[in-house]
A and B are shown apart, each in its own frame.
Chain A
Amino acid sequence: MKIFEKFLNIDRRIIFLLILLGVAIPLIWTLGFNLEVTENVQSVYTMLEKIEPGTRILISFDYDPSTKPEIQPMALALMQQAFTLRLRIIATALWPMGVQMCNEAFEKVSAEYPNIEYGVDFINLGYKSGGMVTINHMAKDFRSTFPADAGGNPIDEFPIMKGIKNFDKIGCVISLSAGDPGLKQWVMIVHDTFGKPVAGGTTAVQAPTMLPYVNEQQQLVGLLGGLKGAAEYELLINKPGFATKGMDAQSVAHLIIILFILIGNIGYFATRKQKDNLKA
């Protein structure tokens, strides 16, 4: 039984090292496991496919670099699909660093779509604080919430903003969200108050809390949860990227953690039995 006690008291830095290797090795030598698309991800894809070309959609970048590995691949995939479908994107941010995340994503995607023009097919309106209150204000008076784009240029100068006074002329809203304010607030205002379809991409931490909104009332049309959600979306648009590449590492790391849990529990029960015997 001493071996179990030894195992249970293993230096945590060994665990750290195993996790590091478990993630690093599959990144170098990929294993190529199968990837399956889930219903919630498919729903987001189908929603965009059904929107008429030329329609304006709103994507809100409600995250920062701390969750970039999970959410940026979603942003890239969604923008690629939208531009392929000739949808026009109005970008906003409820998190200040979302502005830069949006700029980085647009720079990367626009290189693949040379015909996309800023102000015509895409606009970055920048950051606004205030969360839910500001979204509600946007729905009543979009132009006074966003009098200018992120560069300070009046929005009247841009053809993409023509006729936008509220959410009426916006096909759908997609919030890429890492917390609060984010997807929850968009659902509460845009869908539940003004009846527009809302979809989202969130960190895996946030995904379970958002699932009750994916219901028959379609408070949320669909949800991309974490890196796996992003990888599934890359599969749908047939453009494998960072998320797809990371799936093998994710799998191996999960396996290692499950093994830790198993060993920990075996050790726990073995030592407990021994202690019970000693007491008896």
Chain B
Amino acid sequence: MLITFLVGALIIVSEFIPHKPFNNLSTSLEGWFLIISGFAIILGQLSLFKVNIIKIHRKAPNWPYFIIALVSFSVMVICGILWGTQQQPGLIPVSDKMLNFFGVKPFDYIFKYLFENLSATMFSLLAFFMASASYRAFRARSPESTLLLIAAVLVMLGRTTIGSTLTGWIPESLGFLHLPNIASFIMKYPNTAGQRAIMICAGLGVIGSSLRIILGIERSYLGGK
């Protein structure tokens, strides 16, 4: 808690006194943060590995699938360490034979053909579920939901080429009725107003939480209450 206070206070003080030793110390701390966060990422990956091993060991439901995750992780790490990545050399120099065979290094081959496709498809699934949810749940039940629905429809029309085509015939004097202009108006004014209100209030929340952490009022991150 004392460390958090000292570090947090130092970072804040360095803003108001940008001279030695405060600026040097805060710059060093930020550099350290990069290294510690690197270790934190490694911790995350190793933790995933550990959790999967425990699940397999305990024969948790669907445990055979966790073996696949472990194997994929291991293959990626081994390929990365042995032959390196596109720009980084690994422990073993990549032979011309291997490069001619795969076209790229094994690590990049897995990334390009397996990961890119998996990742893109996983998130594209949501297109189908959004369409289904729109049909089943998007109802004009109250004035609030009606506003939400109208804004959504106008934005969906105005932010595509069909919006331009549908109202392209409208004379310039009535240009504000052109669908892309309506969508732009919604985005620029009422949407920005709503988002800005959220942003200001969330910002105040972040400031409050930061102060609570620095002053030791909030300690849950240390495992306390």
Contact = CB atoms under 8 A, between A and B. Distances in A.
Contacts of A109: none
Nearest to A152: B88
B119 A65 contact: yes
The residue among B30, B38, B119, B156 with the most chain A CB atoms within 10 A of its own CB is B30
B162 A33 contact: yes
Interface in A236-277: 247-248, 250-258, 260-261, 263-265, 268
Nearest to A10: B135
The residue among A23, A128, A264 with the most chain B CB atoms within 10 A of its own CB is A264
B174 to A, nearest CB: 16
Secondary structure call for the A interface: helix
B165 to A, nearest CB: 5
Interface of A: 8, 10, 12, 15-16, 18-20, 23, 33-36, 38-39, 64-69, 100, 103, 124, 126, 128-130, 133-134, 136-137, 140-141, 144-145, 149-152, 204, 208-209, 211-212, 226, 228, 247-248, 250-258, 260-261, 263-265, 268
B138 interface: yes
B161 A137 contact: no
Contacts of A33: 160-162, 164-165
Nearest to B187: A211
Contacts of A130: 30, 33-34, 37
Contacts of B160: 33, 228, 247, 250-251, 254
A251 B37 contact: no
A15 B162 contact: no
B87 A151 contact: yes
A76 to B, nearest CB: 16
* Contact-size category for B: 35 or more
Contacts of B149: 261, 265
Interface stretch (B59-67, B189-197, B211-219): B189-197
B199 A212 contact: yes
7 contacts: A10-B135, A15-B128, A69-B120, A140-B30, A211-B192, A255-B162, A264-B139
B41 A211 contact: no
A34 B195 CA distance: 30
The residue among B88, B131, B165 with the most chain A CB atoms within 10 A of its own CB is B131
